[in-house]
Amino acid sequence: MTTARRARYLAAEALRCLRPREDRRGEETEAQRQEAAWSRTPGESRDGTQDRYVEPEMALPTIPSSWPTRNRLLERQIVNHREQEARFRQQWDTNSRYFRDFSVWSSKQAQWSSRKCYQQSMQAYEEQKLREEKKKSLTERQRRLCKLLAEEKSQFAEELKQKRLDLALRESDVRERSAKLKSARELERKMVAEQLLYEHWKKSDPRFRQIESDLHKKHVIDTWETQLSERKQQETANKEEQRRFENQYEIARREALERMKQEEEKRHLEGRQQAEALLQQMEELKLKEMEATKLKKEQENLLKQQWELGLLEEKRKNMEEYRKKAELGRFLRHQYNAQLNRRAQQIQEELEADKRILLALLEKEDEDQRRDSARRERAAADAAWMKQVIEDQLEIEKARGAELQVLYREEAKQMWEKREAEWEKERQARDRLMKEVLTERQHQLKEKIELNRRAQEEALKYREHLIRGLEEAREETRRERAEEADLKTARKRELEAQVAERYLQDQKELEQQRKEDEEAWLADQLAEKLVQKEAHLMTKRGYQSKPYGRPKIAWN
């Protein structure tokens, strides 16, 4: 028995053992039916009825002697078959139990070795560790709090003890302080009394009054000159302050204008830089759009090439089917010489078709030669070599066709068989090579399509990035312009407010100075008038002595 027959036999036995019990019961019934057919009498039919020619009842002794042995053999076969079924059923139960246990074990093993189980165990471990750390920190905190409480209690006891000691010292200090205050008050009373006595004596002495009057006159005269000089100095200082303020205001205004001019130039420079950056981004966006269009056209070209390749493969398959059908017809007609010629012509046509396919592939390879890698160059070299092989075979077939014109029928038959074998080998080799070339070309087209798709995706992402950058730049420029306008307006208002405030402050200071000067001048004029009036009255009255009583002593 060969390997294939043995395998089919084992498969049939396995299927028979795995079939349901009803099918096996049907087999047992069929076996019993055959046994009954072997053991039934010659006059009995298969359905249990009597045939037309029934032998007499005395034919019973003619039952063959091998019937009991055959019956026992059938019973033994049935018993063996049932034992085999029981063994298969037990083996099946054992295998199913093993696979069920193994599936449970593998699921538990996968669950225990999974990332989720590991994370749960680590999370439980971390939670337990965190609880232990919290418990430890709570114990440490309780210990520190107990220590602080004990220290505070001891410190409070020390403070109470110190307070008790300070209370006695405070009473003695209060007594000493009251005595010192009493003595200081008495000393102050004595000094006040002496000062009052001295002032009274000074006022009652006419010499001091005369001296005071002379000093007052001299003071008034000196005050006039001092006031005039101070007024001139004040006017000069005011003018200088006004000029300095005007200079500072002018300097501040110029600095503010210069700063605003520099900020304006800086803003214009930043605007030009942003405009240049935006123009560059727009140029890049245009280039990316052109590149996307180019990639899209290239993808369409690649899809077209892939479709043409599919058409070429379909054409080769159709030619192969046509060749098989034509070959079958030629075998039926047995026209060897004509068949040989037609076969040679067909081989030449196939070679011409393969040559056209390879020429088309070479043209496609020449178009993509600048972008092809080493593998594509190798594929092109393989296609060129295949083209050379096909051209050589085409020349050989033409030479063979010329030789076939002079062969006889028998020689043509032998030559046909020989050439058919050679043609079959060459066709298989040529089909294999063409399949490799077409497969390589198909692989190249798929790679090009994939690279083109990735390039389009990258170009689309970069284009979206550029568009977002442009939108953000426009938004940033608009926001900066708005902020700059607000800042410029606020700065202008602030400068105007500062100038107005400084002007009002200067005006207020000038007005205050003018009022003070007028009040001082009026006071001086009034004092001068009073002095002149008092001197006139004193001159008119003459000298009058003043009565002096007993000096009084200041007592508290």
pLDDT of residue 515: 86
Q: What's 53's DSSP letter?
A: S
One domain, residues 318 and 434: yes
Rounded Cα distance between 246 and 335, Å, is 128
Give the residue with greater pLDDT, 523 vs 148.
148
In a domain, 50, yes or no: no
Asked if residue 298 and residue 198 are part of one domain, the reply reads no
- pLDDT higher than 60, residue 6: no
Q: What is the pLDDT of residues 160-187, one digit of tens each?
A: 777 777 776 777 777 788 888 888 888 8
Look at residue 118 and tell me whether its pLDDT is greater than 60.
yes
User: For 430-439, what is each residue's pLDDT tens digit?
Assistant: 777 777 777 7
Q: How does residue 345 score in pLDDT terms, banded at 50, 70 and 90?
A: confident
> Which of 425, 450, 480 delimits the end of a domain?
480
pTM: 0.29
Residues 452, 319 share a domain: yes
DSSP 407-464: --HHHHHHHHHHHHHHHHHHHHHHHHHHHHHHHHHHHHHHHHHHHHHHHHHHHHHHHH
Mean pLDDT within 348-373: 67
pLDDT: which is higher, 479 or 320? 479
**Which residues sit opposite 44 in a β-bridge?**
50
Same domain, 299 and 354: yes
pLDDT(417) > 60: yes
Domain boundary among the residues 438, 457, 480 is at: 480
**Together in a domain, 297 and 356:** yes
Predicted local distance difference test score (pLDDT) of residue 4: 58
* The pLDDT of residue 158 is above 70: yes
Domain finish residue from 463, 480, 497: 480
Give pLDDT, residue 132.
Answer: 92
Asked if 24 and 109 sit in the same domain, the reply is yes
- Separation of alpha carbons 56 and 116, rounded Å: 88
Give me the helices (H) in 368-408, please. 374-404
Q: Note the pLDDT of residue 391.
A: 73
Instruction: Please tell me the distance from the alpha carbon of residue 230 to that of residue 405, in angstroms, as a whole number.
Output: 148
107: which 2 tokens? 């699921």
Q: How many CB atoms lie within 10 A of CB 543?
A: 7
Question: pLDDT (tens digit, 9 = 90+) per residue, 133-152?
Answer: 999 999 998 898 999 998 88
Sign of CA dihedral 81, 83, 86, 90: negative
C-alpha dist (Å) from residue 533 to 215, 216, 525, 540: 18, 15, 12, 10
Domain enclosing residue 445, as ranges: 285-480
Co-location of 104 and 180 in the same domain: no
Q: Among 145-149, 363-367, 433-437, 448-452, which is the least confidently predicted range?
A: 363-367
Helices (H) and strands (E) in the chain, counts: 8, 0
Q: Is 544 helix (H, G, I), strand (E, B) or coil?
A: coil
Q: Residue 549 pLDDT more than 60? A: no
87/24 same-domain check: yes
Q: Would residue 542 count as lying in a domain?
A: no
Q: Does the residue 382 lie in any domain?
A: yes
Residue 223 in domain? no
| pLDDT for 251 | 75
- Token pair, residue 325, equals 């059908």
Contact between 261 and 432 (Cβ < 8 Å): no
Phi, psi of 55 (to 5 degrees): -80, 160
Does residue 523 sit within a domain? no
Q: pLDDT higher for 510 or 322?
A: 510
Looking at the structure, do residues 313 and 348 belong to the same domain, yes or no? yes
By C-alpha distance, which of 439, 460, 442, 455 is closest to 303? 442
Number of domains comprising the chain: 3
Q: Looking at the structure, do residues 468 and 330 belong to the same domain, yes or no?
A: yes
Exposure string over 52-83, b if 16+ CB within 10 A, otherwise e = eeeeeeeeeeeeeeeeeeeeeebeeeeeeeee
Tens digit of each residue's pLDDT (9 = 90 or more) over 456-476: 788 788 778 777 877 887 788
Same domain, 163 and 85: no
pLDDT at 67: 54
pLDDT mean across residues, the chain: 72
pLDDT at site 290: 80
Residue 380 resides in a domain? yes
The answer to whether residues 386 and 455 belong to one domain is yes
Residue 526 is assigned to a structural domain of this protein:
no
Does residue 245 sit within a domain? no
pLDDT digits (tens, 9 = 90+) for 35-86: 454 444 444 444 444 444 444 444 444 555 555 566 778 888 888 988 999 9
The stretch 119-135 carries a mean pLDDT of: 88
pLDDT at res. 379? 63
| pLDDT above 80: residue 306 | no
pLDDT at 23 > cutoff 70: no
